[in-house]
């Protein structure tokens, strides 16, 4: 069932986006297969192995559903744990956080899917299959599909589950997605995700395919507490560094929807990662919280890997921390959080 667009909505839908650490029914992921996107056969296989490693790790904590067309099932099964369920829903790439189903829940425990009309990050990449995933999942699960009235990606907005969002303007207030005012985009995000306040930071347009998603830099741990990754000091020659410290200063001065001053925990930036290319995404913040676990990346920098491990264990007591080498995903511009999407338990 498709619910009409929220473009003129003035009242709340009754649905909200739960915080990621709340219990899940399952995790959804996507199998990367598109040869126009990943032309090198050897690298494509490496990328699929990284996705399998993440899925095989998460499935020890909660059910995992991998999406892919039927023609890929046989080959994928050789890499995936038998515990991973495969659904015949065609995919192009791996970014389930952006193209997959964003589940929202109401006070009666009912789920719906908020549709952000994925367009390949402003039509930068083919998305013939990925652009249809949210609707196909809604149909298969017989859930309402709520049109947000926006084009964008859930990886571009963070929610504390208690009324507060944070995002970079660069990936929302951008004509490659929305020809709307910042105020109107804010209203539609708040309505679609059942929130009361959004904290905006400028971000960076055009430097990467996502136009700088917030989930690679800063995340909510729980209401009132956020984590952000920063280099040791800003560099005027590095736009990512400048934007990161700009976001940090904004968050440090911000209050959430309940009037609480945000408490910020800083994670380090790896200085000696295994991969040193300029566009490699080495984000410790791009971790995924599942039932009883936290799945994070390690980059081969012993000092920063160890510091991040200590801090994440303190931030998520009672959960098992697993750190994986997922460098091929970093080479394509993302991380573990980008590759996953949670379905809340009801």
pLDDT higher than 70, residue 11: no
The radius of gyration computed from the CA coordinates of the chain, to the nearest angstrom, equals 19
What's the chain look like in SS3? CEECCCCCCCCCCCEECCCCCCCEEEEEEECCCCCCCCCCHHHHHHHHHHHHHHHHHHCCCCCEEEEECHHHHHHHHCCCCCCCEEEECCCCCCCHHHHCCEEEEECCCCEEEEECCCCHHHHCCCCCCHHHHHHHHHHHHCCCEEECCCCCCHHHEEECCCCEEEEEHHHCCCCCCCCCCHHHHHHHHHHHHCCCEEEEECCCCCCCCCCCCHHHCEEEEECCEEEEEECCCCCCCCHHHHHHHHHHHHHHCCECCCCCECEEEEEECCCCCCCCCCCCCCCCCCCEEECCEEEEECCCCHHHHHHHHHHHHHHCCCCEEEEECCHHHHHCCCCCHHHCEEEECC
The β-bridge partners of 263 are: 225
Contact present, 121 and 170 (Cβ < 8 Å): no
More reliable by pLDDT, 290 or 1:
290
Which pLDDT band holds residue 262 (cuts at 50, 70, 90)?
Answer: very high
CA distances from 108 to 111, 213, 346 (A): 9, 31, 9
Q: What is the mean pLDDT of the chain?
A: 96
- 20-24: average pLDDT: 98
Phi, psi angle pair for 165, to nearest 5°: -115, 155
Express each pLDDT in 135-176 by its tens digit.
Answer: 999 999 999 999 999 999 999 999 999 999 999 999 999 999
Place of tokens 């904004």: 250
Which pLDDT band holds residue 10 (cuts at 50, 70, 90)?
Answer: very low
Closest CA to 172 of 153, 194, 159, 196: 153
pLDDT at 278: 86
pLDDT higher than 60, residue 7: no
Contact present, 243 and 204 (Cβ < 8 Å): yes
**Which tokens sit at 153?**
């990606």
Which pLDDT band holds residue 8 (cuts at 50, 70, 90)?
Answer: very low
Percent residues over pLDDT 70 in the chain: 97
Angle of CA points 75, 81, 82, to nearest 5°: 90
Contact present, 119 and 172 (Cβ < 8 Å): no
pLDDT at 6: 56
Contact present, 228 and 266 (Cβ < 8 Å): yes
Express each pLDDT in 284-325 by its tens digit.
Answer: 999 999 999 999 999 999 999 999 999 999 999 999 999 999
- 211-227: average pLDDT: 98
End-to-end CA distance of the chain: 19
- 46-53: average pLDDT: 98
Closest CA to 76 of 99, 61, 56: 56
Place of tokens 């571009």: 156
CA distances from 206 to 201, 209, 295, 296 (A): 16, 7, 29, 27
What is the CA 176 to chain-centroid distance, rounded?
Answer: 19
pLDDT at 56: 99
For the domain made up of 2-340, the CATH class stated in words is alpha beta
């Amino acid at each position: 069932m498709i619910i009409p667009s929220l473009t003129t909505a003035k009242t709340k839908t009754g649905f909200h986006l739960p915080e990621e650490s709340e219990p899940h029914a399952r995790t959804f992921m996507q199998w990367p297969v598109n040869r126009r996107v990943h032309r090198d056969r050897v690298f494509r296989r490496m990328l699929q192995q990284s996705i399998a490693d993440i899925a095989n790790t998460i499935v020890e904590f909660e059910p995992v559903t991998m999406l892919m067309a039927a023609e890929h099932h046989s080959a994928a099964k050789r890499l995936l744990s038998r515990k991973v369920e495969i659904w015949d829903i065609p995919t192009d790439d791996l970014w389930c956080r952006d193209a997959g189903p964003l589940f929202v829940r109401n006070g009666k425990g009912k789920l719906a899917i908020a549709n952000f009309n994925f367009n390949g990050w402003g039509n930068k990449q083919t998305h013939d299959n990925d652009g249809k995933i949210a609707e196909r999942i809604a149909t298969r699960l017989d859930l309402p599909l709520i049109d947000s009235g926006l084009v964008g990606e859930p990886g571009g907005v963070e929610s504390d589950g208690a009324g507060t969002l944070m995002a970079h303007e660069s990936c929302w207030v951008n004509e490659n997605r929305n020809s709307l005012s910042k105020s109107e985009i804010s209203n539609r995000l708040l309505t679609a995700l059942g929130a009361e306040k959004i904290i905006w930071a400028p971000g960076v347009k055009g430097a990467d395919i996502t136009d700088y998603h917030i989930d690679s830099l800063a995340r909510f741990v729980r209401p009132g507490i956020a984590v952000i990754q920063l280099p040791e000091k800003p560099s005027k020659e590095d736009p990512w560094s400048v934007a990161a410290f700009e976001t940090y200063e904004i968050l440090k001065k911000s209050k959430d929807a309940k009037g609480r001053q945000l408490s910020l925990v800083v994670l380090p930036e790896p200085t000696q990662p295994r991969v040193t290319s300029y566009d490699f995404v080495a984000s410790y913040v791009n971790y995924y919280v599942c039932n009883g676990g936290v799945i994070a990346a390690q980059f081969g920098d012993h000092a920063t890997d160890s510091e991040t491990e200590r801090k994440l264990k303190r931030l998520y007591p009672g959960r098992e921390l697993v750190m994986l080498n997922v460098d091929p995903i970093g080479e394509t511009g993302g991380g573990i959080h980008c590759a996953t999407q949670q379905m809340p338990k009801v």
